[in-house]
Every structure is written in C-alpha cells, then in structure tokens.
Structure 1
C-alpha cells in the first residue's frame, strides 16, 4: 500500500515558508493575499488544526465555517498561521478576542 498525504511540491513550499518564518524574514506583505480566518481556534486533535469562518479562500470562498489542514506554524502576535496547504491571516480569536 502507498499513502501520499501531500504532493512533494506542496511540502517543499511548506518547508520554504517555515524557513522564512523561523529566520524572521517573512513580512505581512508576503501573505497579504492569504485568506483570513475569523473566530478561529485550535481544535484538540492529535495534530493541530484550526477552525473558523474563512474570508477570501481561493477554493472555499467567504463566509463558510472551515477546518484547516494541519498547522505547522502559528504566530499569534503577527496574526498568521501556516497550514500544510497555505498561509492564513488570523482575525479575532473565538476564545481570546485577539489574533
């Protein structure tokens, strides 16, 4: 049996983005076109994922409740999260009222 969770290209982009974030070389303008996730919270699962109301998602549109793919990077001070598939800008948190 073969199991492929994600294409190599997607994982490569994820690694590149994580390197930028860890090196503090990521600017908000780099992700200005990313979807915004309002009323977000991390769900208690075996891997971290987010749920919230999405705005501006290229496939899911706006105004829908969604759960993301696995979260690999989260910075609540900058209000950003990187999942397997994309960056999200974080709106107001459902739990704290902050990013």
Structure 2
C-alpha cells in the first residue's frame, strides 16, 4: 500500500473519491427525478385543462367562448418540444447512473 506525504494511503483517497462520486451521482439522480416528476405533473395539468375545455365546448350551445376559456386554453398547451427532449435526456442519464451503481 502506498502512502502520500501527509500519511493518507492511496486506498483511502480512492475510497473517499469513490464515495464522493457516488454522493454526486445520487444528487444528480435525485435532481433528475425531481425534474421528471415536475414535468409529468405539468403534462397531467395540461391534459386536465384540455379535457375541461373539450367538456365546455361540447356543452356550449353557441360558438362564443366563455369567460376563462383563454386562460384554460393556455393551461391546456403541452410543454414545448425542447422540454420533452430535455426530460428524455434526463431519463437516459438516470438509467445510466442507476446502471453504474448496480
């Protein structure tokens, strides 16, 4: 076993570096999970708003929009494509991090 000048063995440094990398990977994984959960919640809210808009349109007698339809229409829009790509990449990163620490 090799020792550095300050008396710390190389195995201790490797172990501490490995532990730090593990902790960093866990932190990154948790951030990915948080972002994925928020994105899924946004999708669920957009779907609920879309269903409500559709329900209002079916029940409406005239073609005139009701008050509040504008805001509901905005809420019903799904996130932009770039955000889907971002979340897909976070899924991939999560799987890779989980595979490394298997």
Could you state the TM-score of these two structures normalised by the residue count of structure 1? 0.23
Please say which structure displays the higher CA radius of gyration: 2
Could you state the TM-score of these two structures normalised by the residue count of structure 2? 0.23
